[in-house]
Amino acid sequence: MFSKRVVKTVKLIIGIGLIILIVGFLVIQFVPVDTSNPAVVSEPKWDSPQTQALAEQACYDCHSNETKWPWYSHIAPVSWVIAREVHRGRRSLNYSEQSAYGENESIETILQGRMPPRQYVLFHPKARLTNADKQALIAGLKKTFGSNVGSGRESGEGREGQGGEDSEGEGN
Ligand code: HEC
């Protein structure tokens, strides 16, 4: 068995460790994190309210300027991870900024089951798309963004040059 002294030392170390953790946790709360929602510049002219609802429920938190930030997204270090995901997501595809619709790849990512990301769906069961939802969303994206959707991309970007017929974009 351990001597009393060893037990005491171990307790002391655990105590100091806990204090460091707690202080560290408090300190990192002051690191600025950008959880802002920039202005909505444009909105797709959705072919139907259903497509819009599906996109909103499964994609908008990371691919629009209308992110719903849950309470835990304001607590570091979780906030860092979530904000990073949202900013990366918005850069790839942003339904609030027409220059970043990037719809060509959306269908691919839905079919492959890559979007919405699995970890996200765990915390947002509403974002889980049934097979019927996926079919409806894909069909809706095709109708909304035109028949060139899903026909592959010319450049790695895939977000330029669409939108001929909906270039006004501000409607709705
Ligand atoms: C939890 C946040 C999140 C949600 C929700 C989400 N995405 Fe993403 N998405 C990302 C991130 C982050 C990236 C960037 C991935 C990368 O660069 O590796 C991305 C990338 C993309 C891309 C760019 C192409 C690619 O292959 O990476 C497309 C298209 C896309 N998402 C479509 C969608 C669609 C459609 C939905 C809804 C059905 C959706 N995403 C839901 C976070 C999300």
Q: For 38-79, how does the pLDDT look when each residue is reduced to its tens digit (9 = 90+)?
A: 999 999 999 999 999 999 999 999 999 999 999 999 999 999
Q: How far is the CA of 116 from the centre of ligand 1 (A)?
A: 6
| Ligand 1 atom with minimal separation from the 102 CA | 29
The rounded distance, in Å, linking the Cα atoms of 51 and 49 is 6
Task: Tell me, using a 6 A CB cutoff, whether residue 105 lines ligand 1.
Answer: yes
Q: Any residues with CB less than 8 A from the CB of 20 and at least 6 apart, and which?
A: none
Q: Where are the domains of the chain?
A: 49-145
Closest residue (by CA) to atom 11 of ligand 1?
Answer: 89
Half-sphere exposure of 168 (CA within 13 A, CB side): 5
User: Contact 108/150 with Cβ under 8 angstroms?
Assistant: yes
- Three-class SS string for 105-153? HHHHHHHCCCCCCHHHHHHCHHHCCCHHHHHHHHHHHHHHHCCCCCCCC
User: Contact 90/63 with Cβ under 8 angstroms?
Assistant: yes
pTM of structure: 0.82
Q: What is the pLDDT of residue 103?
A: 63
Residue range 69-128, pLDDT digits in tens: 999 999 999 999 999 999 999 999 999 998 777 666 888 899 999 999 999 999 999 999
The rounded distance, in Å, linking the Cα atoms of 28 and 39 is 28
Task: Tell me, using a 6 A CB cutoff, whether residue 85 lines ligand 1.
Answer: yes
Residue range 140-150, pLDDT digits in tens: 999 998 754 43
| Ligand 1 atom with minimal separation from the 84 CA | 12
